[in-house]
Amino acid sequence: MSSSRKAYGGGSILLQDNGLSCSNEALEALFLSNSSPFHGSRSIVNFENIRGGKAQAMSFYQSHDQEENGDEDLDECSRPGKKRRLTVDQVQFLEKSFEVENKLEPERKVQLAKDLGLQPRQVAIWFQNRRARWKTKQLEKDYDSLKASYDSLKSNYESLLKEKEKLKAEVLSLTDKQGDKDDARGNSETSDALEPSQPESPHKPVSEKKPSAVASIICKQEDLSSANSNVYDSDSPHYTDGVHSSMLEPGDSSHVFEPEQSDLSQDEEDNLSKTLVHPVYTFPKLEEIVYPDQSADCGSYEFPVEDQALWFWSY
């Protein structure tokens, strides 16, 4: 590609255009600048590399360099060889143009160059750099809104986790109470015909169920931390397009949680219903009391994928 661009002004060729050959559009822009509202811009000509620049350009244009810079009393405006920032007026004009359209058609480029007393190439470069700056700012904005969204999600998730834990404890408590009632009723009905080999009561006393509840609470702690790490892990890879804020769209909220967790949630629901419908009749060993359902239990506090959208968007 570079052939055309180099013809415009890459390195020493630009120098030639501006300072020596006086034969192409760089010079044309220079002439045009005399009638522009930005006449006298220090940025019109780029005599790059005249002072301490690339060696190749220096050697090639050394005589011109000496001629141009021999007079140290030259004022800032007339001293070439340094990069000059665009004037405030030029930048304002370009900014307004950029607001209208951030892409630059050839006709518009030439017109802007005429109006500003710049080379068309300079206008194109300014737009190029301006787009890059805009993109950087956009990325920062996207990051901020994404982070805010994530923080909000995390906060919601944690509060829902607590609420779920509370509800589960409530269910256990109610189950125990119901078991006590059944026990009392069963004892009064069968007290006369109690057999030694009778299976143990389907409803264990509250004190015997405690380990399970304690274990589940312990598990919650692990669950919360693992869920957090899941959120973190699944966050960055989805951010594939820095320009767009697509991550904030509702449909993407499901990406925050791993799909496999929904299976575990189903297991936990099964286990919970088993506990309620088919109570354990035997006293297992202590380890068995605490751990039989832990694998399911630990991972069960995630929300099913289909529920995530609901709890998040209806919160």
- Counting contacts by CB under 7 A, is residue 55 touching DNA? no
Site map for DNA, 224-243, x if CB under 7 A? --------------------
Among 46, 216, 261, 265, binds DNA (CB under 7 A): 46
Nearer to DNA, 26 or 298 (CB): 26
Among 26, 36, 48, 256, binds DNA (CB under 7 A): 48
Among 66, 92, 135, 140, binds DNA (CB under 7 A): 135
Q: Which residues inside 91-120 make contact with DNA, applying CB under 7 A?
A: 91, 103-104, 106, 109
- Counting contacts by CB under 7 A, is residue 244 touching DNA? no
Among 86, 247, 256, 298, binds DNA (CB under 7 A): 86
Cβ(309)–Cβ(234) below 8 Å: no
- How much helix, strand and coil, in percent to the nearest 5, is found in the chain? 70, 0, 30
**Both structure tokens of 220:** 């919650």
Instruction: Using alpha carbons, select from 203, 207, 225, 218 the residue that is nearest to residue 291.
Output: 218
Q: In whole angstroms, what separates CA 193 from the centre of its chain?
A: 70
Among 24, 51, 231, 291, binds DNA (CB under 7 A): 51
Residue 8 makes CB contacts below 8 A (sequence gap 6+) with: 14, 17, 25, 26, 119, 120, 121
- Counting contacts by CB under 7 A, is residue 83 touching DNA? yes
Site map for DNA, 4-23, x if CB under 7 A? xxxx-xxx--x---------
Provide, rounded to whole angstroms, the least separation between the CB of residue 119 and DNA: 8
Q: Phi and psi dihedrals of 101, rounded to 5? A: -155, 125
Specify the stretch interacting with DNA by CB under 7 A; choose among 40-48, 263-271, 296-304, 307-315.
40-48
Among 16, 26, 115, 126, binds DNA (CB under 7 A): 126
Residue 265 makes CB contacts below 8 A (sequence gap 6+) with: 299, 300, 301, 302, 303, 304
- Per-residue b or e along 186-200, where b marks 16 or more CB atoms closer than 10 Å to that residue's CB: eeeeeeeeeeeeeee
Distance CA 223, CA 60 (A): 70
- Counting contacts by CB under 7 A, is residue 251 touching DNA? no
Alpha-carbon distances of 163 from 158, 220, 239, 289, 306, rounded to whole Å:
9, 12, 31, 25, 19
- Positions in the binding site for DNA (CB under 7 A): 1-7, 9-11, 14, 43, 46, 48-49, 51-54, 82-86, 91, 103-104, 106, 109, 121-122, 124-133, 135
